[in-house]
Amino acid sequence: MSTHVKQTVIRYGLAVITVSIIAGCGGDKPTAPAAEVIKVENAYIRAMPPGQKVTAMFMKLENTSADKHRLVGAETIESNISKAVELHEHKHINGMMKMGQVPFIELQSNDMTALQPGGYHVMLIGLKQDLKLGDKVAMKLTFEDDSSVQIEPEVKTITTD
Ligand SMILES: [Cu+2]
């Protein structure tokens, strides 16, 4: 009788340990805020001819963590130079290149995601002033967990690639 009880207790104990290991390793909860593990590189804004009311911002986003993250928003801060800032992608539809808004940009774990001409980009729509070469525009990027980073992309002429 007492042996049987002991075994039950031991089994129960093992079950609890197993469950906690699974929860600790395989859980969906990221270990660090996105803003701490996403590195922004080479952020720049495409210089446009005077009078143009739209342009795009490009950059590389490196997710240095084992968790998936998403870029969910971008905005200009301080300067408020454009009426709207949207996440966009270019897509081939029936042989035509079209761009449109996307709700987020997926950032795979331990991977680099490039926002570049012909692909994902941050669209600045309704520019209130001309952007000059060398201007720096303060912007904020927001991730799915509501963490955010501030960047200062410079206005540059685009290099064709
Ligand atoms: Cu666009």
What confidence score (pLDDT) does residue 6 get? Answer: 53
As given in the structure block, the two tokens for residue 119 are 């692909």
Phi, psi torsion values for 51, nearest 5 degrees: 95, -15
SS3 3: helix
105 CA distance to ligand 1 centroid (A)?
Answer: 13
User: pLDDT tens for residues 95-125?
Assistant: 888 999 999 999 999 999 999 999 999 999 9
Round to whole Å and give the CA distance between 97 and 55. 17
Q: What is the pTM of this model?
A: 0.79
Percent of the chain's residues with pLDDT above 70: 81
Whole-angstrom CA distances from 2 to 10, 12, 13, 14, 15 are 13, 16, 17, 19, 20
Ligand 1 center to residue 121 CA distance, Å? 6
Do the beta carbons of residue 103 and residue 87 sit within 8 Å? Answer: yes
* Distance from the alpha carbon of residue 106 to the mean position of ligand 1, in angstroms: 17
Structure tokens at 99: 């761009």
| Residue of 111, 110, 87, 109 whose CA lies nearest to 99 | 87
Reported as a single tens digit per residue, the pLDDT across 123-160 is 999 999 899 999 999 999 999 999 999 999 999 998 65
The fold adopted by the segment(s) 34-156 is: Immunoglobulin-like (2.60.40)
Domain ranges of the chain: 34-156
Distance from Cα 92 to the centre of ligand 1, integer Å: 13
**Bridge pairing between strands 82-93 and 96-101:** antiparallel
| Dihedrals phi, psi of 146, to nearest 5 degrees | 75, 5
pLDDT greater than 60 at residue 64: yes
Report the chain's mean pLDDT, rounded to a whole number.
Answer: 86
Closest by CA position to 36, among listed 112, 144, 149: 149
Q: Looking up tokens 């240095």, which residue turns up?
A: 64
Pairing mode, if any, of strands 154-156 and 38-46?
Answer: parallel
Q: How many A from CA of 53 to the centre of ligand 1?
A: 12
